[in-house]
Structure 1
């Protein structure tokens, strides 16, 4: 990984360069995580998620979001998750939990004001930019769990427009 913190360098044939670049682009150490520490430790969670480990997505709760509340690393994590989706996770379990995580981010409380996006608006902007990729084959066949999550995301983004 070509990150800001050379001590956390990682490499994996399962993580596409675009995802690696998105993880490296973020200044994780400057963000306060939902657990109260620096968000630098989220890099490992996001690498695990990018490699397709469903448990890594569940681990983001309490760090990126807690119930309806988003924490400061939420937009950066959302950018990474959208990069993972764009790269096309091959495993169905990974696609489902990734979409469920995006849905959790989009069902959080909107913390913005009429004059600024806030964490919620920033997350929604990343998802909106990748919305065309939330349709078609990777989003699952109609009636599947994956398709239901993708439909929910498209519906919420449609409400935000």
Structure 2
């Protein structure tokens, strides 16, 4: 990461999130910006550290409008790892949920026989549903709850 062989480390990033970022060959994926997606590891690391702008910066790299790009499933896995490690502080939480909702609002690019990028993202979100559902009960009537409810509605429609 960061163009060196030395892995990035931070006390703000749980080991499970660090492992999820490290398990992907980012450079082998083509980013939405047209370059190899190696730079996404740093963007996701910044997001995992709690920088809300880093989540919004994924637009154009992981998704654009209703289109998903090849790094979307791997990035979604990282986002769900961040959430599952314990919902972050409020501003980070809302940015993370906005990003998940953006991924799930994309067009389904799968076929009857294969999950496309959308199906892979939805699978990551489904795996973390118990953690997401706790976000609704913890803050009824808030932006966080609205985002979680939107995510749950989309996942239930796809079931």
Give the TM bin, normalised by the shorter chain.
over 0.9
Counterpart of 1:156 in 2: which secondary structure?
A: helix
Query: In 1, distance between residues paired with 2:11 and 2:137?
Result: 23
- 1:43 corresponds in structure 2 to 41
- 1:62 corresponds in structure 2 to 60
- In the TM superposition, what is the alpha-carbon distance from 1:135 to its structure 2 partner? 1.6
Query: In 2, distance between residues paired with 1:11 and 1:91?
Result: 20
- Cα RMSD (Å): 1.5
Q: 1:138 to 1:23 in 2, by over 3 A?
A: farther
Q: List gaps (5 residues or longer) in structure 2.
A: none
Give matches, 1:141-152, under 5 Å.
Answer: 141-152=139-150
Alignment TM-score, normalising by the size of structure 2: 0.95
Q: Note if 1:81 corresponds to 2:79.
A: yes
Q: Is the 8 A contact 1:139 1:150 kept in 2?
A: no
- 1:102 corresponds in structure 2 to 100
Q: 1:146 to 1:26 in 2, by over 3 A?
A: same
Q: Could you give the per-residue CA deviations for residues 13-47 of structure 1, whole angstroms, max 9, x where no partner exists? A: 00000000000000101000000000000000000
Q: Could you give the per-residue CA deviations for residues 86-130 of structure 1, whole angstroms, max 9, x where no partner exists? A: 011431000111001000000000000101000000000000010
Q: Could you give the per-residue CA deviations for residues 57-80 of structure 1, whole angstroms, max 9, x where no partner exists? A: 010000000000000000000000
Moved more, 123-132 or 135-144: 135-144
Alignment TM-score, normalising by the size of structure 1: 0.94
